[in-house]
């Protein structure tokens, strides 16, 4: 069974759609599920956006932290 319910490779989307796609994907997760985010830079601003817009219902774990590829496990911890 796949560890991730969904994967978003942010490098495949134009800048104005990246965060929208990521949040849509996260919102479709069920509690306990996780998504994999792949990016070519550290998405720290996105992390802060999650803190502001999805407080208390997500987890954030770096699986790979650069220098060229960043892979983050974003889990849904609450409804």
Partner 1 sequence: MTARVEWLPLGHVTHGYRRVFVVYENGILRHVINLAHMPYESVFRVKQLATAARVDDSSLWWGLSVIAKLVSDGTLLSSENPETADDGYLQIRPQVPSPDELLPLSVYRVAVKKNALCFPLERTSQCEQEGIYGGHPTHQ
Q: Does 79 bind partner 1 (CB under 8 A)?
A: no
Strand partners, 17: none
Report the DSSP pairing between strands 34-39 and 6-9.
Answer: parallel
- Least distance to partner 1, CB of residue 49, Å: 5
Show the CA angle centred on residue 28, arms to residues 24 and 73, nearest 5°. Answer: 80
Q: Which of 44, 67, 68, 79 binds partner 1 (CB under 8 A)?
A: 44
- Least distance to partner 1, CB of residue 40, Å: 15
Q: Does 27 bind partner 1 (CB under 8 A)?
A: no
Cβ(57)–Cβ(77) under 8 Å? yes
Residues near partner 1 (CB under 8 A) are 15, 19, 44-46, 48-49, 51-52
């Amino acid at each position: 069974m796949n560890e991730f319910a969904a994967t978003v490779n942010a490098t495949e989307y134009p800048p104005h759609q990246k965060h929208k796609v990521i949040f849509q994907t996260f919102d479709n997760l069920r509690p306990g599920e996780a998504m994999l985010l792949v990016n070519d830079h550290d998405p720290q601003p996105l992390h802060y956006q999650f803190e502001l817009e999805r407080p208390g219902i997500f987890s954030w774990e770096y699986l790979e932290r650069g220098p060229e590829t960043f892979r983050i496990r974003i889990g849904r911890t609450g409804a």
